[in-house]
Amino acid sequence: MKRLQFVFVAFLLFILNSAVWAEEYRNVEVKKVLISSVASNGQSLTYLQTPQPEVTVIVVRVPPGGSTGWHQHSVPVYAYILEGVLNVEIKGGRTYVFKKGDAILEVMNTLHNGFNTGSEPASLVVFYTGAVGVPNVVKEKVEPDASQP
């Protein structure tokens, strides 16, 4: 019985302590941007299984008329649009439009191209949840045109 009382008191102290800790962050604003278990095209999200995880965070700026070029990811990639509008075309599929404040859950192992048709730059912060030695981006292999010398 004393053990049960001890566990109960410890639990209450944890809850009360947590409530005090949460009070310290009263001025923090939280805005839920996205909750999803699928990428923009409906592809199920998967996590990389690796003994050597590696996170890379970059900021990408696509000028008006600019493009990422056709590429794919073998690692999970997430992005947040900081400014502008970015169109993402899935090879052989549809095009998705993301604007400032949108989150992107990128497709894996699927060729896609991000491009800016707007009049202002598009900027996004990109999070690659990859592995040591595994490339985050793989550009499309383009076969040389046999008719060109």
Residue type, 56: T
CATH number at residue 80: 2.60.120.10
Residue 16 lies in a domain: no
Residue 148 lies in a domain: no
Q: Which two tokens stand for residue 45?
A: 């999200």
**Run of H or E including 16:** helix 2-23
Residue 75 lies in a domain: yes
Residue 26 lies in a domain: no
* Structural domain for 66, as ranges: 53-139
Residue 118 lies in a domain: yes
User: How big is the chain by its Cα radius of gyration, in Å?
Assistant: 22
The C-alpha atoms of residue 144 and residue 50 are separated, in whole angstroms, by 35
pLDDT digits (tens, 9 = 90+) for 42-86: 999 999 999 999 999 999 999 999 999 999 999 999 999 999 999
Q: Is residue 115 within 8 Å of 68, Cβ to Cβ?
A: yes
Model pLDDT, residue 30: 86
Total domains present in the chain: 1
Indicate whether this model's pTM tops 0.85: no
